[in-house]
A and B are shown apart, each in its own frame.
Chain A
Amino acid sequence: MKRWWAQPLVRAVVALALPFAVPAIITLLIWALPGSPADNICRGATGCDALAARWNLDQGMVHFYLAWMGDALRGDLGRSWSAVQGVGIRELLAPAVPVTVMLISLSVLPLFLGAALAGLGWIPRRFDPIFQAVGLVPAMVPALVVYAVITLAMGAVAADGSESLLLKLFAGALILGTTDGALSGAITGTRSVFDNERKQQYVLVAQLRGEGVLSNTLPNVAGALAGQLRARILHLLSGAVIVEAVLRIDGLGDFLWRATLHQDFGLLLAAATGFALVSGVILLLQASLEVLVAWHQRRAPQVPVAVGA
Chain B
Amino acid sequence: MPRNLALLLAFLSLGLLLMAAVVAPERRTVEAEAAAFASPLDLPPLGADERGRPLTDYAMQGAHIVAVPALVAGLLVTLLGTAGGLVRCMGSERVESLVSGFREVVGALPRMVVLLVVAMLLPLEWRSLLALAVVWALLAAPGAMDEAAAVAGRLGGARFVEALRAHGFSRLRIYLYHVVALNLRPVVVRQGAETLMQVVFLEVALSYLALAAGEPSFTHNEAVTKSWADLLYQGYQAIAMDVPSMHVLVLGLALVAVTALAAVSISSAARAR
Contact = CB atoms under 8 A, between A and B. Distances in A.
Interface stretch (A8-16, A66-74, A108-116, A292-300): A8-16
Given A15-B108, A279-B108, A279-B110, A242 B205 contact: yes
Interface in A186-242: 196, 231, 234-235, 237-239, 241-242
Interface stretch (B11-19, B41-49, B209-217): B209-217
Contacts of A30: 121
B248 to A, nearest CB: 13
Contact of B111 (A14, A132, A234, A271): A234
Given A15-B108, A18-B108, A259 B239 contact: no
Contacts of B210: 261
Contacts of B92: none
A266 interface: no
B6 to A, nearest CB: 14
A140 B117 contact: no
B204 interface: yes
Nearest to A135: B260
Contacts of B116: 241, 256-257, 259-260, 268, 272
A196 B121 CA distance: 44
A14 B108 contact: yes
B112 A14 contact: no
A234 B104 contact: no
Nearest to B150: A224
A246 interface: yes
Given A138-B256, A275-B110, A261 B121 contact: no
Given A11-B104, A144-B236, A245-B209, A260 B109 contact: no
Interface string A241-258: 110011000000100110
Contacts of B30: none
Given A241-B112, A268-B120, A283-B108, A145 B209 contact: no
B90 interface: no
A29 B215 CA distance: 23
B206 to A, nearest CB: 9
B244 interface: no
Contacts of A22: 109, 113
A171 B213 CA distance: 22
B227 to A, nearest CB: 13
Contact of B110 (A141, A145, A238): A238
Interface of B is mostly: helix
B25 interface: no
Interface string B113-133: 100111111110000000000
Contacts of A164: none
B57 interface: no
A148 B236 contact: yes
A147 to B, nearest CB: 8
A227 to B, nearest CB: 8
B52 to A, nearest CB: 25
B44 to A, nearest CB: 26
A30 to B, nearest CB: 6
A263 B124 CA distance: 12
A34 interface: yes
Task: Pick the most buried of B105, B118, B204, B210: most chain A CB atoms within 10 A of its CB.
Answer: B105
B109 A261 contact: no
Contact of A242 (B209, B260, B264): B209
Contacts of A10: 100-101, 104
Contacts of B232: 140-141, 144
A231 B197 CA distance: 18
A1 B263 CA distance: 34
A165 to B, nearest CB: 19
A177 interface: no
A195 B151 CA distance: 15
B204 A140 contact: yes
B117 A29 contact: yes
A268 to B, nearest CB: 6
Contact of B120 (A1, A231, A259): A259
10 contacts: A15-B108, A138-B256, A234-B110, A237-B113, A238-B111, A242-B112, A253-B112, A263-B120, A268-B116, A276-B109
Interface of A: 1, 10-11, 14-15, 18, 22, 25-26, 29-30, 33-35, 40, 132, 136-138, 140-141, 144-145, 148-149, 151-152, 181, 196, 231, 234-235, 237-239, 241-242, 245-246, 253, 256-257, 259-263, 265, 268, 271-272, 275-276, 278-280, 283
Interface of B: 97, 100-101, 104-105, 107-113, 116-123, 143, 154, 194, 197, 201, 204-205, 208-210, 213, 215, 218, 232, 236, 239-240, 253, 256, 260, 263-264
Given A138-B204, A141-B232, A271-B113, 7 more contacts: A14-B105, A29-B118, A136-B260, A237-B113, A242-B205, A253-B112, A257-B209
